[in-house]
Structure 1
Amino acid sequence: MNRNLALTLLLSMALAGCLSPEQGQVKTPSDMGATGAASSVAQSGSQVAADLTARYNDVRIDCGSASTPAFLCSGVILRSTVPGPGYSTWNPSPHSQQSGGVSFSYLRKDAKFQNLLFGQNSGLIFNPILATPPGKLKIEILCAYPIDGWSQLRDKPGCGGHPYYPTQSLRCQTLGITTAEQWMAHWRAVPTPGNGPAYQCSFDVRDSMNNLGADSFYQSIRVRNMLGDSWFHQHNELILATWPQNVPQQLPIQAFFYINDGLANARHDQRDFYNHTGGMVVPIIKIVLPSTPSANATFNFSQADQLY
């Protein structure tokens, strides 16, 4: 969605221009060729934890206008990952390189969930786009699913039809669905209830949505709450545009995180990032996901968790 000029001048960080209709694109920083000499953390770990807490509690509908969805400035945009030999967790997977989309989740006080994908216990957190540090990529968010969208099998970039229901699982706006109430009516019509995640449609939040974008994303949050406690255990899903391989110093990674017993994985990622960026340090944050729908997530920094 094209940012209006006033917002652009006010925030100095707004997105400029439209992206391609389906694949999206990654906006390139002016210092694309810069590599990291040893660098300290832009924010201290305690500041990062405080910032994440504030964004989690910020339940605004938009970021100041109808064309600026709330994810641009509030909530926590996170991706759960699994470290492995020869694989850096910030690189898009082979599937994401082919599809053009990378799966994340969105955690906020009004968009809670109890578990990460496949029981994973660590990952990374991106800065929201309107708080992207200088010289970092601004990566477009392409669509939002109220629950896991089973996006691995969907049409590129992970926002389109699922092979179980090719015509009923397209983007919501393509199906004429623009409200949470319409989404719920569609959801209840699934032929096989167990396949509901494949039947659901994704809310279109691309830049090209313009003044419809903020409401489109907010409807996905409203759906999340309409689904009730029975879906609290499962994460939601955002699809972000795939970024280039092996550019860790250009990614807007605010923190590595872990839940439960995932500290070793988070330390692996912190060390790997440090080694690949010439000494950049990103803090490790412990997230405690809510155990009940009435509880809240917490974000904690401990110096004892850090390798650097």
Structure 2
Amino acid sequence: MIPPTWNEFLKFISDIQDNELDKPLLSQYIRIPNKCMTSFQIIQYFSSDFQKSKIKRRCKWGDTEKYFLVWCVSKLIAKLQIKFHEVCQFKVFEKLSIILGIPEEFLLKKWLGLLKYKLKEQPWLPEEDDLLIKLRQQYSKSKDWLRIAMEFIKRSQTVRYPKQIRERFNNVINPNINKNEFNQDDILFIFQQTQNKKKNWAGISKNMPGRTDNQIKNVYNSIIRKISNEIRMNNNEKKVDEQVIVNLIIQKKNYDPKLISQLYGEGRRKKPCVKIEPNSDNSYTSGPQIQGIPIQMVCPYINYQPYQFQNIYCCFPQLYLLPHQKPISNLNLQ
């Protein structure tokens, strides 16, 4: 029986109070904070800083508060001789909340935040899925995932993150999920939506009932990847412009990799050119001209020799003339 007060708690763990934490064992399950303290420092910290500022520190905890929580939980695990994943079954956080004067939900949330990623890789069992569906039906509000996670951990023998539980239900076991393949209209709609909502998959999924944001993201990335590989293979392109691919798919209403790759390559090969011809006039404007305009007026800082420009086609970026004249790209060049 875990005592309800701090002093009684210290008496309860008095035989193991000064033992150092088994960090090699703990590090398999949680991220140990950098701030380490002895048992004497822990006791002093609780009676001074933690007691005075515990209300202010409920939202954001530093390494000191996190290590204090790890120390308390670890001592209870060692004293009760329970396994790591059994802390909720033995109501460790419920008792600890009475001792520290902090809500159980808050302590559990902080503890879950210390868990290592490897725990998320545990495969889901059918019993877990059934329990999660029942809990979601019981707590149907969109913001009840932390409560669902707490109930899930208490009733099952595994530890799961609230985010992990939410994603498992929304993307895998939700009975309302449409698991049929996407048809052509669905795929074209996704690409049209990316122009308005960029890659806001959650926002796009709201316009596609029964489809999850994860499904939509996977379909989009799969098509982009196939087309990009086709472009690199056929056009020797190292870097592919994804937005150009999206525009071509929407314009042609087709996402066939070979067709989009062909159109992509044709668009890359088309470059704006202007024809530069020499001027036979012997005035000061004699020299290469563009539609009668001396090249030195267009690009006054370019050194040139008149004979070098004869019958040569050169590519220029969009250049501007004098303030009262139009851009070169808008002129009727021959």
TM-score bracket, shorter-length normalisation: under 0.3
Compare the two structures and name the one with the higher helix fraction.
Answer: 2
TM-score, structure 1 length as denominator? 0.24
**Larger Rg over CA atoms:** 2
Compare the two structures and name the one with the higher strand fraction.
Answer: 1
